[in-house]
Amino acid sequence: MSDLVSLPEIERAAERLAGVALRTPLVPFPGAGDGALLVKAESLQPIGAFKLRGAYATIASLPEEQRERGVVTHSSGNHAQAVAYTARALGIPAVLVMPHTTPGVKVDACMALGAEIVYVEPTSQAREETAAKLAAAHGFTLVPPYDDARIIAGQGTAGLEIVQDRPDVDVVLVPVSGGGLISGVATAVKALRPEAKVIGVEPELAADARDSLREGRPVTWDAEKTGRTIADALRVQRVGDLPFAHMQAYVDGIVTVTEDDIRRTMRRLAREARLIAEPAGAVATAAYLYHRDELPAADTYVSILSGGNVDPALFLDVLR
C-alpha cells in the first residue's frame, strides 16, 4: 500500500493551489432536511470543474526547464481545459488530445485559453497513443487525466476541504470516471475522518467502476457502451490502475444512476439550489435524491458537483 497517495502529499498540493483553485462552498440543498445534503460546488472553479486542482498541482510541481518545454494531455474536456488554464497561467505551451465528440462548449473554452487541439477517435487507446507520440516527438511532459499520484493528490484537496468545513460529515458522494477524484477525496476523508463513508456514483450506462470493484480488477467497457450516457465526462472505459488501488483501499461502495435521474437532478440543482451542473456533475447529487435507500444511513451527506460545463442546447432541453 506504500504507493498510495498520503495525506501530507494532498496537503502539499493544497499549498500549491492556494490562490489558484477556489475553496468551493458546501451549499445546502433546499428541502433535504437540516444540513442533510450539502453540495460541494466545484462548478464554481475558474474553469467550471474540479480538474483544475489536479492539473495545476501537477504542472506547478514540475522542474522549471521541464515545464518550459510544454505539456500534453488527453481528455474529453474538463481536464483539457484545466491543463490549458494552467499552461496559460504559467506561460508555457499546451497541446490537448481530445475526442472529436467533445461538446463544443468545452472545445471553445480550451481554444480561448490558447491551447493547441488535436482531435482523435473517442477511444481511450486513440487518446493515450496520440498523447504519448506527441510527448516523445516534442519533449512535452504528459499530464495524465487521472492515473497519476500527483493528479490524485491535487483532486484530494476537495476532500480535505470537505472535512475541514464539515468535520461531522458522515457520507461523501463522488462521481467516478477514471477515478482520480474519488481516489484523492477518499484518501483525504478516510485520513481525517475514518468513520465517514465514501461512495462512488456513476451512470448505469457506464458502470465500469462498479464492475471493477465487484470483480477485484479494473474492468473495461467498450467505447460504444459508455458513449450512450449523457454524462460525457464519465465515458472513460476503465478506471486507472492507481485510482483502482485507492478505491479498493478506501471506497465503501458504488451506486449507479439512470439517465432520467441525471436530467432530473440537473433541473433540480438549477431550480432549487441555483447551481448549474453538467450531466457528470449531477450524478452524485442524483444518488442522494433518487437512490437514498442504497446509501448508508447518516445525518450529514456531501455530494460533489464536479463540473458545470454543460452544452447550452442540452441544458435548455433538460430545463424543459
Write b or e for each residue in 266-304: b if 16 or more Cβ atoms lie within 10 A of its Cβ, otherwise e.
Answer: bbbbbeebebbbbbbbbbbbbbbbbbeeebeeeebbbbb
Judge whether 176 and 199 are in contact, CB under 8 Å: no
Judge whether 124 and 227 are in contact, CB under 8 Å: no
Catalytic residue among 40, 43, 51, 212: 51
Instruction: Dig out the grid coordinates for 41 from the structure.
Output: 460546488
The residue among 238, 186, 195, 196 whose CA lies nearest residue 217 is: 238
Catalytic residue among 43, 76, 212, 306: 306
**Using CA of residue 271, residue 230, residue 248, residue 210, what is the dihedral sign?**
positive
Which single residue is written with the C-alpha cell 496537503? 11
106 is catalytic: no
51 is catalytic: yes
How many Å apart are CA 47 and CA 42, to the nearest integer? 9
- Amino acid identity of residue 116, one-letter, is E
Catalytic residue annotation: 51, 306
